[in-house]
Amino acid sequence: MHDAPIAYILKRFPRFSETFILNELLAHEAAGATTRVYSLLAPPEEPRHARLSQLRAEVMTLKALGNGSDGVITPGDAALFSGKSAQEVGALQRKAEAVAQDARARGITHFHAHFGSDATTVACLAARAVGGSYSFTAHAKDIFHTYVTPEADAEMRRAKLREAAFVATVSDYNAQHLAMLCPEARIIRLYNGIDLGAFTPVDPATQARGHLIAVGRMVEKKGFDVLLAACALLKARQVTFSLSLVGSGPLEAALRAQRTALGLEGCVAIGGPLPQEALIDTMRTAQAAVLPCVVTDSGDRDGLPTVLLEAMARGLPVVTTTTSGGPEIVEDGVTGRLCAPGDATSLADALEAVLAIPEGAALMGQAGRRRAERLFDLSTNAGMLRAYLRDPLRAGQEAA
């Protein structure tokens, strides 16, 4: 068991926005483990993080196995394949069998997936095929978003939760939600880890007065439209500030148009996504980080945004909302400020309060760094997950 590779099943790998998965794999390898990655689809054409070159894992891409005959659903698996066409079911079944065949040759008997969606379905099927077990890390959209109907999605999630050896999730908020959904599930709260050696506290000499940084995909749940509205309020109040909005996504054009309509071109810069190394450098001029998360109409929301943990590691105060895991990241008034989701005035008040007293912001940043060291250290948290992956039955017993 201990000589077998740690096997991850992922929808797409590598993926630029999922640095937490890359970092986790690198942490396993740094501890001496061998890793194996199964990617259900080919990776998107996008930039790559420099650290990807350090990863020794072999990646088996299963894209070509998506074509073929329709799948047959056994009566007990109707919930597992909720909302899937016969063709989609067949594709997942073929990919699971390919994973199982490869795993048998390598002595792999446990599979771990990130996100409780198709990757977890394949992990479940592959585990059955080899007579092994599976686990998955639940994040946000995979457990909150409505894909088919709320009832059908709940049944699908319960099917995966019940059969898993254990389920890791990134916040207490998520863990409570999953426990209510499936009381018999074996759930472990395990925060995403941050490389504290890479994300070191910023030098106060490099920080620009009033400079805010916001990082994330430009999608509804990030609340960037609320952030721009709050910036307009700050400008009207004559607060000295600037904002670097880092990322891309389907709402980018709308956000640029909103920036223009609000007359914010002079104080809000909108740039594309940055590799982790460039993000670390960009943070050095910031005085605070902000991410005003909201819950969408579909129920989608952030779990525990990794970028806020990274900002805390850099010694920056963090402003976010009370949505989801926000209160687990920010101790209001100590490591940053919390505000109501979807409320531009509340957000502007929180940002103004942080920027008004630079000395206070610095103290919040120092407290945030200490919190990151205590809760979000990559080597510690990845080590805990690795121990569970090496002994999944014990992990399930501890979580039960």
pLDDT, tens digit, for every residue of 235-281?
Answer: 999 999 999 999 999 999 999 999 999 999 999 999 988 988 899 99
Residue 397: per-residue pLDDT: 76
Q: What is the pLDDT of residue 2?
A: 54
pLDDT band of 223, cuts 50, 70, 90: very high
Place of tokens 């201990």: 2
Sign, CA dihedral 170-171-172-175, equals: negative
Rounded CA-CA distance 380/373 in Å is 10
**Predicted confidence band of residue 1 (pLDDT cuts 50, 70, 90):** very low
For the sheet containing 35-41, what is the strand order? 58-61, 35-41, 6-12, 110-114, 133-138, 166-169, 187-189
- Per-residue pLDDT of 21-73, as tens digits, reads 999 999 999 999 999 999 999 998 888 888 999 999 999 999 877 777 788 99
pLDDT tens profile 141-168: 999 999 999 999 999 999 999 999 999 9
Pairing of strands 133-138, 166-169: parallel
Distances from the Cα of 206 to the Cα of 19, 198, 395, angstroms? 25, 17, 44
Across 74-89, average pLDDT: 93
> Cα angle at 355 between 353 and 361, to 5 degrees?
90
Per-residue model confidence (pLDDT) at position 69: 76
Model pLDDT, residue 198: 93
Which of 246-255, 315-324, 342-351, 391-400 shows the lowest per-residue confidence on average (mean pLDDT)?
A: 391-400
In this model, does residue 387 exceed pLDDT 50? yes
Please, which residues bridge with residue 270 across strands? Answer: 245
End-to-end CA distance of the chain: give it in Å, rounded. Answer: 23
Span 6-193+377-399: which CATH code? 3.40.50.2000
Share of the chain above pLDDT 70, in %: 99
DSSP bridge partners of 112: 8, 135
CB 38 within 8 A of CB 122: yes
Distance of CA 103 to the CA centre of its chain: 27
Tens-digit pLDDT profile for residues 102-127: 999 999 999 999 999 999 999 999 99
d(CA 110, CA 330): 35
pLDDT single digits (tens) 171-190: 999 999 999 999 999 999 99
The values of phi and psi at residue 267, to 5°, are -130, -5
Q: What is the mean pLDDT of residues 267-296?
A: 94
Alpha helix stretches (DSSP H) within the chain = 19-30, 86-106, 118-130, 141-144, 150-163, 172-181, 224-236, 252-261, 276-282, 306-313, 326-329, 344-356, 358-375, 378-390, 392-399
Cα four-point dihedral sign 329, 331, 332, 335: negative
Domain ranges of the chain: 6-193+377-399, 204-375
Domains 6-193+377-399 and 204-375 are alike in CATH topology: yes
pLDDT at 396: 66
Q: What is the rounded average pLDDT for all residues in the chain?
A: 94
Cα 292 to Cα 319: distance, rounded to the nearest angstrom: 7
Fold of the CATH domain 204-375: Rossmann fold (3.40.50)
Using alpha carbons only, give the angle 383, 385, 388 rounded to the nearest 5 degrees: 110
Q: What is the pLDDT of residue 67?
A: 73
pLDDT for position 371: 96
* pLDDT for residue 319: 98
Number of helices (H) and strands (E) in the chain: give both, helices first.
Answer: 15, 13
8-state DSSP, 66:
G
What is the side-by-side order of every strand in the sheet holding 336-339? 268-271, 242-246, 211-215, 288-291, 318-321, 336-339
